[in-house]
A = this chain, B = another copy of it.
Amino acid sequence: MKREINETTRREFIRLLGAGGCAAALLPTGLSAHEGHEPGAVHPNPTEAFPQIKAGEETILILLYPGFTAIDAIGPEYVFSAMIGATVKFVAKTTAPVRTESGFEVTPAFSFKTCPKKPTLLLIPGATDGLLHALADAETLDFIRDVGGAAKMAGSVCTGSLLLGAAGLLKGYNATSHWQTAELLPLVGAKPVDQRVVFDRNRVTGAGVTAGLDLAFQLVRYFRDDFYAKGLQLLAEYEPQPLFAGGGDHKKADPRVVLLLNEMHRPFVDKTGGIIRSVVEKRAV
């Protein structure tokens, strides 16, 4: 339901306002100037019946790198793209299609060279094998350091926090990661916090995979306000019904499942730790 919001909403608002529809009360009085509307189209006396829809013009960049976990990037992208006035784009080393973890390709809008250098947000998705390659890639870490460092906010989903950290952006910050890699955060100077979404000053990190959605909704509230975030939660029908209560939380999940996943991913976690150690030493993070 995104495009409807993105492309039609302004015109639709104007139409409703012109028709004296109830949405009239939703527009802040100053919106017409801010959004470039004809002043006459904004209802002169918004009632108090509705809170205002907060406008914005955020520039949000989401990094793509070979092997990234698609949902880590595309879940938040869905949510951000529904922020009227925001620019939400994928950025990668070049504008060639980038292969995801499961093998399909996504096209970035910007290359490292052509992308805006001071975005509102730079978001780094996670990966598994792809993470190991990205961690070892100086150009990618330099990009994250420079653009993420200049951004109003730098953030990550899942194991993306290890990239953010290896680039030097989590030193002295509270942060989170996939529950299986949170133990590696101290290697980059971050303090692991066992929360689904961790805000600390100009950094925001999400836990594993699906935490990207919660992170995105929290950022919408941060960039806009409660009312906007409520609108997107209902638009996205975000009323989750996980099959197993507590099943997504390693502290509450079936211990047999925790043990299995830990056995399966131990080699990955160890390998990742090794690479981070060498990167931190080489780059003096």
Contact = CB atoms under 8 A, between A and B. Distances in A.
A284 interface: no
A138 interface: no
A185 to B, nearest CB: 15
Nearest to A99: B107
Contacts of A22: 259-260, 263
B209 A230 contact: no
B102 A105 contact: no
Contact of A257 (B69, B234, B267): B234
Interface stretch (A162-170, A235-243, A274-282): A235-243
A106 B51 CA distance: 37
A179 interface: yes
B126 A209 contact: no
A102 B77 contact: yes
A149 interface: no
A92 to B, nearest CB: 11
A33 interface: no
Contact of A227 (B9, B13, B235, B257): B257
A134 interface: no
Nearest to A206: B237
